[in-house]
Chains A and B, each alone.
Chain A
């Protein structure tokens, strides 16, 4: 046997094609280049490196000869990674963290927040009017301070005691000492400049320079280095007592004063604990500082789902309703769609096309629009359903509280979803019916089968072969049908007893998860992600089992 000789395929090269290719690649590379520059400017080096690698791969794929499949697949794979794989990995990762309202951002942000608030203004302390500038001798940042108490003028530098400037060595400003004064005619004036001091224009300072001024602390008493004069706005300064000190090396905070509520004492050391807070000695049972950050918490979110007493009752309710909702929706839409499909499939019916088009209309309108229209129709006081269909007076006492009480709201959700969903089933059943050969039913008829028998034993099994996978897909879709629930009832009505989770009568799992993530008592993205992983497992398992089952259907064929 001779091996077939490997022939390198030769592709025709067209000039237009090459130009087109160069132009497109050029644009892609330009965009990537721009992104990289922005990333580097923001010191996001990892992202920049990833971008470079991705760009190189893309260029390699399209510039080399051959490798045609890769050229077709690359864009799809690229977007799949960005929009699916990355999102999946990220929410998967989030499920194992405590990311949420109280753990927003990384440890550096928390440290910065704690530092920002690690002071208190001394009661009855001296206030100053401030001019920011530099010491003319060494060019270091300095503050020109005019006391509001006795109008004495001082030069203050970071970590040094303030130095009084004798009268005659400074000149007063024309404007008011108080930069916020509304009456500019009678106000006191403060020093604007002095010998040995170069004032700076605040608006010319860079953010980096500004930061130096904000952290500049002029010492008042060398015996107490934690008491100082500080300015927050480069216009006024107050006497400030630091309440915490920070060690840049160990990243620990130390309390300088007793807590006013007695939670901790001076000298207590705050260390990062594994729950994303600074606790005294790093032990969770001890007091902690308020700012938290995002940390990995292992399986804690899953533990909460299975062990939280407050969560159990509402969760069971939500889960059972989710299944009822998904099954009932698939069942009702399929039955209704199939019934109509059979009806309009009748050979002797005239105007089939017209009827079929009409039937598809609810499906043709955007679901968002229909849902909002239904909210209006189901209004308790003035809605069409109550006032016209049920003949109740507007604002009557016996009107059905659609959407306002759990029972009616559940029926309302199911009805609206039936309205929105049956045309789809009608469409696919109609399509499937066309593909059932007429000989089969004819043969059945000749053999003496009743219409019911021919439907049950011939048409139904053949229909299910092609439609069962779609029913499963429809189940999975409705299991997560966020839109319809959220637009109709927002998961409400919310009157089912007391629990500290925000859960309503028509909440399905996905809307419940949404509420955990984005509303109510502070966001908890970690818990919500854990939930969505569980939902994925539930749907995945159900779909897998169902698809296995449908294989047996195919065997009938």
Chain B
């Protein structure tokens, strides 16, 4: 009886071994694993497949991950050696945080000397952290000052010419949206962080002091009368109907503007009924800046053994950053190319041209400090706008100090 049992165990074990050996033959084709969110996969799939077909040595597996949790997934996977080779569609402001978590691999050695000249100003630098490049840019996003031409015939040049109730801006009642308010903040020369002599962001908060205080006081004076209520669901409708003249937003709302919305007017037509303008100058004549957001492709370090397929991943990344690919992504998916040559060709599209010409951008900082800033920064901002702070300059000062403390704690 006992013998039988043992035999059964051995037999089942032996069966398993044979299946295993058969299942893993040595293959000459190398596998590249790319993680991306759904939107990115839809965008890049065709081009990645084209590369896959053209390169017989490699096969690419696109793995779908949730945009909001892909960073956490990466931080868990990499130390176990289960990470992908490339993280595609990554927002460039993730870079610092991911580098600190030991999950990215520098690619400087693979980049040609003047590679950054292939891209619009700041696009490749946005992938740089602590002196190393960790990825290549894919496409860019920035906001502009949209104008309903029917109710506002001419472009405004100064924010002083804009009256209460004329602007639409999307922000939350609890955390504001410092990204959309950044142009207004830079009208007071109060950048989020200071920059070093080389034009790289530091981790020192730069929006404190008198300039920040001036902005805070201005925000309080303008308040919701000027910027509208938080979380206003009717901005699109009001803009289409001409109830508000200007809308602070990005290319992601263009489809909605041109196709119209149910319950209000039908869509607007670029240049004849709406126009994409640059931001007006500040109350004291300072030209404002917008954040440039870059979505790109990052090289992932696959754990302690460095099993990343650098050779294949570099080839694919260079292909995705090329003029041909970026023009194709623009052509099919309206993604504004980061590649200069592709952008020049894409400018026959008035929307792309509009946002590119309206841009006076600075790449959003990509340090972990930026990650830490959003909530603290926005909380103070929205309280001031909604008139919840009696002394806005003091509240702003408290916020900058708390933010600096939070940043120092990261190191």
Contact = CB atoms under 8 A, between A and B. Distances in A.
B303 interface: yes
A121 interface: yes
Interface stretch (A136-144, A190-198, A235-243, A529-537): A235-243
A105 B13 contact: no
A494 B110 contact: no
B151 interface: no
Interface string A187-213: 000000000000001111001001100
A500 B233 CA distance: 30
Contact of A498 (B2, B107, B233, B402): B402
A500 B376 contact: yes
A272 interface: no
Contacts of B78: 104-105, 109
Given A101-B97, A498-B380, A180 B58 contact: no
Contact of A112 (B57, B97, B111, B306): B306
Given A101-B97, A233-B310, A492-B174, A522 B410 contact: yes
Given A121-B108, A210-B309, A210-B310, A500 B303 contact: no
Given A203-B29, A494-B375, A104 B402 contact: no
Contact of B410 (A102, A106, A240): A102
A232 B310 contact: yes
B173 A495 contact: yes
Contacts, number: 210
Interface string B1-34: 1101100110011011100100000001110000
B371 interface: yes
Nearest to A243: B131
A220 B410 CA distance: 40
Given A495-B383, A521-B372, A233 B314 contact: yes
Given A203-B29, A231-B109, A235-B314, A22 B100 contact: no
Interface in A21-39: 22-23, 25-27, 29-30, 33-34, 37
A108 B306 CA distance: 11
B406 interface: yes
B50 interface: no
B402 A310 contact: yes
A34 B16 contact: yes
A203 B58 contact: yes
Given A29-B13, A180-B318, A121 B109 contact: yes
Contact of A500 (B30, B79, B371, B372): B372
Contacts of B123: none
A102 B375 contact: no
A-B pairs, 4 with minimum CB distance? A500-B406, A203-B57, A105-B79, A233-B314
25 contacts: A23-B8, A30-B16, A34-B16, A105-B304, A109-B79, A109-B102, A112-B102, A119-B108, A119-B109, A120-B131, A125-B113, A202-B311, A231-B109, A233-B315, A292-B102, A310-B406, A395-B234, A404-B174, A404-B231, A495-B379, A498-B398, A499-B402, A500-B403, A500-B409, A521-B409
Interface of A: 18, 22-23, 25-27, 29-30, 33-34, 37, 63, 101-102, 104-106, 108-110, 112-113, 116-117, 119-121, 124-125, 127, 179-180, 182, 201-204, 207, 210-211, 214, 230-238, 240, 260-261, 290-293, 310, 381, 395, 401, 404-405, 492-495, 497-500, 502, 504, 518, 520-523
